[in-house]
Amino acid sequence: MRVKTYQVPPQLFMQFQPENLPQYSPMEALKLGTLWPALFSPYDPRLSHLGR
């Protein structure tokens, strides 16, 4: 049985930026690619070929 994974854009769940949304530190945000933990989605290169 193959495992299927899906990544959906965060704007499907967040229509606007809520007030007081938690933020990463500037260095952490640069490393992770987003300022807000709610929008972070880790990238697993081992699974990148499954979308083809």
22 and 36 Cβ atoms separated by less than 8 Å:
yes
Nearest Cα to Cα of residue 35 among 50, 48, 21: 21
Return the pLDDT at 49: 59
- Locate 36 and state its tokens: 């807000």
Q: What mean pLDDT comes out for the span 1-14?
A: 76
Instruction: State yes or no: pLDDT of 52 exceeds 60.
Output: no
Q: What mean pLDDT comes out for the span 22-38?
A: 93
| CA–CA separation, 48 and 19 (whole Å) | 34
Instruction: State yes or no: pLDDT of 22 exceeds 70.
Output: yes
37 and 22 Cβ atoms separated by less than 8 Å:
yes
pTM of the complete model: 0.59
Name the pLDDT band for 25 (thresholds 50, 70, 90): very high
Give tens-digit pLDDT for 37-47: 988 887 776 76
